[in-house]
């Protein structure tokens, strides 16, 4: 069996509260906030696999002699 590295992504939602004159100003203010001023909204979203690569650190490549594969798995 081969070993693969699978990368995944889980989207996280955040919220914050700002004081502003309208929605547009609220967005501008929020976009300028430091990360620690946002709070994570808990969700039950699953991690979704996005990329997969053969783990070349553990894969045993077949021996090559004259360009012919002698033994492989």
pLDDT in tens, 4-42: 888 898 888 999 999 999 999 999 999 999 999 999 999
Q: Is residue 11 classed as helix, strand or coil in its secondary structure?
A: coil
Give the 3-state secondary structure of residue 50.
strand
Number of domains in the chain: 1
The whole-angstrom distance between residue 15's C-alpha and the CA centroid of its chain comes to 21
Domain that holds residue 62: 4-71
**Cα 24 to Cα 35: distance, rounded to the nearest angstrom:** 20
Residue 46 predicted with pLDDT over 70: yes
Predicted pLDDT at 35: 93
Residue 25, CA distances (Å) to 20, 34, 37, 38, 68 in order: 6, 16, 17, 17, 67
Please report which confidence band the pLDDT of residue 73 belongs to, taking 50, 70 and 90 as the band edges. Answer: low
């Amino acid at each position: 069996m081969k070993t693969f590295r699978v990368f995944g992504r889980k989207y996280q939602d955040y919220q914050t509260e700002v004081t502003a004159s309208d929605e547009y100003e609220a967005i501008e203010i929020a976009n300028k906030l430091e990360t620690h001023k946002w709070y994570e909204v808990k969700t039950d979203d699953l991690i979704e696999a996005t990329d997969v690569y053969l783990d070349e650190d553990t894969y045993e490549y077949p021996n090559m002699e004259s360009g012919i594969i002698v033994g492989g798995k």
